[in-house]
Amino acid sequence: MGPAITTIIRVRYGETDQMGVAYYGNYLSWFEIGRTEFCRSLSSPYREWEKQGVFLPAVEAYVRYKNPLRYDERVLIKTSIREVTSHSITFDYRVMPEERSRLAAEGWTRHAFCGPDGRLLREPEPFHSWLKEISRSSLEEVVEREQ
Amino acid sequence: MGPAITTIIRVRYGETDQMGVAYYGNYLSWFEIGRTEFCRSLSSPYREWEKQGVFLPAVEAYVRYKNPLRYDERVLIKTSIREVTSHSITFDYRVMPEERSRLAAEGWTRHAFCGPDGRLLREPEPFHSWLKEISRSSLEEVVEREQ
Amino acid sequence: MGPAITTIIRVRYGETDQMGVAYYGNYLSWFEIGRTEFCRSLSSPYREWEKQGVFLPAVEAYVRYKNPLRYDERVLIKTSIREVTSHSITFDYRVMPEERSRLAAEGWTRHAFCGPDGRLLREPEPFHSWLKEISRSSLEEVVEREQ
Amino acid sequence: MGPAITTIIRVRYGETDQMGVAYYGNYLSWFEIGRTEFCRSLSSPYREWEKQGVFLPAVEAYVRYKNPLRYDERVLIKTSIREVTSHSITFDYRVMPEERSRLAAEGWTRHAFCGPDGRLLREPEPFHSWLKEISRSSLEEVVEREQ
């Protein structure tokens, strides 16, 4: 599993819907923020991955919604690695409001390693080794950072 | 299973990202359009459900991304019912570009029956009976409609 | 002024906010849909413009909100040309619910003609001539099309 | 004019489009974040306004786009008051990347004071007095805060 990186966001007004809570589609955007900060903290900014020709398109996504989030709530996104294979990486996420101890949602996304042309890459370096190393780390360091 | 309703949308410019394809979070919005049109075609407009005090917040969502979609592509969203229980309904979705025969994505979402206060409702009528009846229908009618 | 193209959309659930109406930021996405259909109807699909190296980044946008729009309302977006100069084009938009005669919003956006590198282009052909011709047309044709 | 509040955000991947820069519609969401933090810093959180029955629907919005923003850039949103009348308030915004001195965009939004029913309110207290006082302040305090 390795370390989890906690990123803090705030629910935007435009992210609510007429039910008065955060719209269910936004969680995938928040997961994306989580893995952006995970990469920045533990390997290198994801924008550098793309500059070096490594893209991570999503191939699967799953969300389990547990308790709704409201406008202006500060929300923790805890991101960690679930699994690294030769062709893909799976991230785990836990989303919870800062001031309440109830989980708001949890989920995971799986991403392929691809080149700029969309072709699958096998163990793209140095990123693949970093991810392997991070995922094996016994470290349970929790870094908190604003987005 | 019952019938599938096919809704047609077009990928908006703002729905693309810098990878040049539709952003992965948008598929949940498209699923929502699919079930909106499913309800309109086969039972009653979802806005009527809410007016009568029945809400369908998402409790789970899953997407399997297969082939990317591009700006301005016309896209078919085929929506059907997978399962109706006393407290929830699960919709299935298949997303494919109109001019290509390859599946772009598929997935499902599960929704609780809730009242305006967020409490679970058991078999809310007349909606629950409609859904049960639709899901048992041997009809394979495919209605195509623009959003 | 020339002709106006009317495009029909439907307000998505995720486009509402906790005020129970369409979020103010979405109108710029709807304007974008309006000009996409304008170009498709009267010159060539905007994706062809980009393929031929002509991009239209926004340089100004203005919206006047008059009456709120609700979930599931069908909405007409009437798009026309206000002005074409050597380096930019300005589109006008009128947004109104299909079943009510009250204007929901109106506005305009100005766009530069740019190359793929972001540099300004002067009167890019054949697009510039098309736009000039359309804008001078005395035709008041109103084409209605779903998105 | 009074003080400006500077809020820092980061451009999300999903906020880019296929031009490789932030989509033009997102600036209105960022303006919203700016005024949320403005209210929190200088009067009371906007969610409290709504709880006390005062809503601020947008009646006008204007954006002047000057230089594109890219994925993962940290962006400063400087928000200040332009004008307070008996029925409306106008906010000014300046958007600029943290690491470059060039303005990315500037603009303003005007908002009506409304009740929960959408009716115009005249000088709703205590908010109206706060805004008047803030706007008259000679203070040029710049508070920087993460979103």
Domains within chain D, CATH numbers bracketed? 4-146 (3.10.129.10)
* Residue A145, pLDDT above cutoff 90: no
Give the model's confidence band at D126: pLDDT under 50 very low, under 70 low, under 90 confident, else very high. Answer: very high
With contact defined as 3+ CB pairs under 8 Å, the chains touching C are: A, B, D
**Average pLDDT value over all residues in chain D:** 93
**Among partner residues A58, A62, A64, which is closest to B24 by beta-carbon distance?**
A58
Give B-chain residues touching D23 at CB under 8 angstroms.
Answer: 13-14
Give C-chain residues touching D102 at CB under 8 angstroms.
Answer: none
Cβ-Cβ pairs closer than 8 A, B with D, add up to 26
What do you get for the CA distance between the two ends of chain C, in Å?
22
> What is the complex's ipTM, to 2 decimals?
0.94
Task: Determine, for residues A65 and B68 on separate chains, whether the beta-carbon distance falls below 8 Å.
Answer: no
pLDDT of residue B6: 94
**Among partner residues A36, A72, A147, which is closest to D47 by beta-carbon distance?**
A72
pLDDT of residue A2: 84
For residue B48, the distance in angstroms to the closest alpha carbon of chain C comes to 10
**Average pLDDT value over all residues in chain B:** 93
For residue B25, the distance in angstroms to the closest alpha carbon of chain C comes to 12
Phi, psi of C80 (to 5 degrees): -145, 170
pLDDT of residue C140: 60
Best mutation target, B7, B8, B12, B99, to test chain C (most C CBs within 10 A): B12
Give the model's confidence band at C2: pLDDT under 50 very low, under 70 low, under 90 confident, else very high. Answer: confident
Distance CA D56, CA D45 (A): 13
pLDDT of residue B142: 59
Distance CA D19, CA D24 (A): 11
Give D-chain residues touching C21 at CB under 8 angstroms.
Answer: 57
Q: Token pair of A121, please? A: 């890459």
* Residue B139, pLDDT above cutoff 80: no
Annotated active-site residue A72? The verdict is no
Could you tell me which residue, B146 or D71, shows the higher pLDDT?
Answer: D71
Scanning the structure block, which residue is given the tokens 């459900």?
B49
Per-position DSSP letters for chain D, written without gaps between them: ---EEEEEEE--GGGB-TTSSB-TTHHHHHHHHHHHHHHHHHS--HHHHHHTT-B--EEEEEEEE-S---TT-EEEEEEEEEEE-SSEEEEEEEEEETT--S--EEEEEEEE-B-TTS-B-SS-TTHHHHHHHHHH-----EEEEE-
Give B-chain residues touching C145 at CB under 8 angstroms.
Answer: none
At A91-143, the pLDDT tens digits run: 999 999 998 789 999 999 999 999 999 999 999 999 999 999 999 887 665 55
Phi, psi of C101 (to 5 degrees): -95, 5
* Residue D1, pLDDT above cutoff 80: no
With contact defined as 3+ CB pairs under 8 Å, the chains touching B are: A, C, D
Chain B residue at shortest CA distance from C74: B147
Give B-chain residues touching C70 at CB under 8 angstroms.
Answer: 47
Record the pTM.
0.95
Give the model's confidence band at B2: pLDDT under 50 very low, under 70 low, under 90 confident, else very high. Answer: confident
Helix (H, G, I), strand (E, B) or coil at A128: helix
pLDDT of residue C101: 83
* Residue C92, pLDDT above cutoff 70: yes
Distance CA A105, CA A22 (A): 11
* Residue D112, pLDDT above cutoff 80: yes
What do you get for the CA distance between the two ends of chain B, in Å?
22
Chain C residue at shortest CA distance from D18: C50
Average pLDDT over residues D107-123: 96
Phi, psi of C21 (to 5 degrees): -130, 170
pLDDT of residue D43: 84
At C33-64, the pLDDT tens digits run: 999 999 999 889 999 999 999 999 999 999 99
* Residue A4, pLDDT above cutoff 60: yes
Distance CA A97, CA A80 (A): 18
Within 8 A by CB and 6+ apart from A116, the residues are A53, A55
**Among partner residues D9, D46, D72, which is closest to A36 by beta-carbon distance?**
D72
Per-residue three-class SS string for chain C: CCCEEEEEEECCHHHECCCCCECCCHHHHHHHHHHHHHHHHHCCCHHHHHHCCCECCEEEEEEEECCCCCCCCEEEEEEEEEEECCCEEEEEEEEEECCCCCCCEEEEEEEECECCCCCECCCCCCHHHHHHHHHHCCCCCEEEEEC
Chain D residue at shortest CA distance from B16: D17
pLDDT of residue C144: 61
Contact in structure between C25 and D28 (CB atoms under 8 Å): yes
pLDDT of residue B141: 58
At A49-72, the pLDDT tens digits run: 999 999 999 999 999 999 999 999
Chain B residue at shortest CA distance from A17: B57
At C16-40, the pLDDT tens digits run: 999 999 999 999 999 999 999 999 9
Burial of A70 (0-12, 13-18, 19+ CB in 10 A): middle
**Among partner residues B19, B60, B118, which is closest to A55 by beta-carbon distance?**
B19
pLDDT of residue B147: 55
**Among partner residues C18, C25, C71, which is closest to A16 by beta-carbon distance?**
C18
* Residue A147, pLDDT above cutoff 60: no
Q: Give bridge partners of residue C88 from the DSSP assignment.
A: C112
At A6-30, the pLDDT tens digits run: 999 999 999 999 999 999 999 999 9
Give the model's confidence band at C145: pLDDT under 50 very low, under 70 low, under 90 confident, else very high. Answer: low
Distance CA D58, CA C65 (A): 7
Cis amide bond preceding A126, omega within 30? yes
Amino acid letter, D137? S
Cβ-Cβ pairs closer than 8 A, A with D, add up to 44
Within 8 A by CB and 6+ apart from D96, the residues are D75, D76, D78, D102, D103, D104
Task: Determine, for residues A24 and B58 on separate chains, whether the beta-carbon distance falls below 8 Å.
Answer: yes
Within 8 A by CB and 6+ apart from A15, the residues are A22, A23, A26, A71
